Amino acid sequence: MWLWFSKLGSPRWFYELSSKWLPWLYAAMAILGLVGLTWALLFVPEDYQQGETIRIMYVHVPVASISLACFPLMAVAGTITLVWKMKLADMVAKCAAPIGLWFTGLALATGAIWGEPIWGTWWAWDARLTSMLIQFFLFIGVVALRSAIESPDNAAKACAVLSIVGAINVPIIKYSVEWWNTLHQPSSDYSMDPVSPNPPEVWVPLFIMICAVYVFFVITLILRTRNEILVRERRSQWVKDLVARA
Amino acid sequence: MTQPTSTSSAVTVSTSAAFVATLKRDLLVAFKRRNDLLNPIMFFLIVVTLFPLGVSSDPVELARISAGVVWVSALLASMLSLDNLYRADYEDGSLEQLLLSPQPLYFLVLAKNIAHWLIAGLPVVVLSPLLAYMLYLPQEAYVTLVLSLLIGTPVLSLIGSIGVALTVGLGSRGLILAVIVLPLSTPVLIIGAKAVTDIMFGLPVGSHFALLGAILALTLTMAPLASAAALRISVN
């Protein structure tokens, strides 16, 4: 276990291993994405209230769920950076921040597109929208701090501290805002009962889409991390060999 | 055999003495530079004055937004004065001495944060009833406003301290401090302003104060740890 852990911390090992993972991940994303999208866009019945508009849910919910997972991920990676000084963890944290920023932005954008026909407005000061917006600002803060500090080591540690503080703050923001004002529908329960308001024919494609977008997120994260590894290790022999071979 | 740690020149200072000394020093420095002392209050006053000019002078409308205006202005005033917390100490090297001192950094940071609150937070709290009067805040809300600011502004100092500690080493920071600190401060703003608005509508506000108190307890114990860690990173 500890050997595996220290090995995983080696950027070279991760680079080599991830190149083996990537084809599988591409395949998984292609299958899940194709099945999920066709199902969601063509075969899911129209919602009795929202009509065709409901289909944007199949993009909105996966994107939003990942944007929520990103801050805890950065906090965990940051803790590993601070405690074990693992280089790879910081590279992952660095690459996760802009992706999280994008996904939060996408969740806000798709939410606005969904909200316009349903709530009749692009934006409302609703609890979830507001907490997403504040999370968007928190991501901007992490990205800005990273780019403002010149020394990579200091930037790594500073961003780790900020990510941990932010991750503690995200639930507090969420609850305070929720308690402040709420209009957004709560998450629906999943049910196997075909006559429930949320039958399997609605949520199974959603589940597939969530998986697809998660795989997409992992692929993006791995690709960015691989670039980061090459940049940071550009003076090491194995990267030089790799470039010479290419 | 003599103890290896005690040399003839070393003076042992207890943590509490160091805490008091740091607090006193920061207050003294602030008193010597009157600008630092006056700027947060002046800023608070001016920002609050801008709202009637920008929104409306109508008493009903102003009363409705008064709680939020006072709270947002207090938040901005606290943030604007954050630089005093570590900036000058970083530039003249005394921050390094603070980090090298044998006492736990947690308490020294806490002392500096308390000093910042006494300089930038407490005057705002004291001045807030006057500004609330100018904004036609209903009479029954005064106590709630002052109390919520009294519990809330220390949190702003403590959270802001993390942001300054993270950015103190940067040459040109621009707005990065605000980008980091403001989102983290939103829960206090929400709860504090809502407490005042709710009392205006005759709603109970006990839970608001419980939440504010919980946030204060959390930041009082955790935030100096993060500030201390951030300072050690920034002053490398």
Domain residue spans of chain A? 59-245
B180 and A180 within 8 Å at the Cβ level: the answer is no
How would residue A196 be classed by pLDDT, with cut points 50, 70 and 90? low
- Whether B3 is in a domain gets the answer no
Which of A9-18, A196-205, B90-99, B219-228 comes out lowest in average pLDDT?
A196-205
pLDDT of A183 higher than 60: no
Nearest to A127 by CA among B105, B196, B186: B186
B9 part of a folded domain:
no
CB pairs under 8 A between A and B: 70
**Does residue B178 sit in helix, strand or coil?**
helix
Rounded mean pLDDT, A145-166: 90
Structural domain containing residue B215: 15-234
The pLDDT assigned to A182 comes to 56
Identity of residue A199: P
**pLDDT at A7 > cutoff 70:** no
Determine contact, residues A88/A13, Cβ cutoff 8 Å: no
pLDDT of residue A53: 75
Evaluate whether residue B8 is within a structural domain. no
**Interchain contact, B229 vs A148, CB within 8 Å:** no
Q: What is the mean pLDDT of residues A37-66?
A: 80
The arithmetic mean of pLDDT across residues A158-180, rounded, is 85
CB A124 within 8 A of CB A145: no
Task: Look at A154 and B236 and tell me if their CB atoms are within 8 Å.
Answer: yes
> Looking at this predicted complex, what is its ipTM?
0.82
pLDDT confidence bin for A198, thresholds 50/70/90: low
Q: Is residue B177 part of a domain?
A: yes
Q: Distance between CA atoms of B188 and B208, rounded to whole angstroms?
A: 10
CB atoms within 10 A of CB A1: 5
- pLDDT score of A87 more than 50: yes
Whether residue B10 is contained in a domain is answered as no
In angstroms, the CA A180 to CA A126 distance is 9
| Overall average pLDDT of the A67-74 stretch | 90
pLDDT tens sequence across B185-235: 999 998 999 899 888 888 888 888 999 999 999 999 999 999 999 999 988
- Mean confidence (pLDDT) of chain A: 84
Nearest to B233 among A134, A138, A157 (CB): A157
Segment B86-103, tens digit of pLDDT = 888 888 888 888 888 888
- Asked whether the beta carbons of residue A145 and residue B166 sit closer than 8 angstroms, the reply is yes
What's the total number of domains in chain B? 1
The pLDDT value recorded for residue B10 is 58
Task: Point out the residues of chain B with pLDDT beneath 70.
Answer: 1-11, 172-174
A118, A168 Cβ separation under 8 angstroms: no
DSSP state letters, A127-183: HHHHHHHHHHHHHHHHHHHHHH--SHHHHHHHHHHHHHHHHHHHHHHHHHHHHH---
The Cα-based distances of A126 to A56, A176, B179 in angstroms read: 19, 12, 22
Residue A136 has pLDDT above 90, yes or no: yes
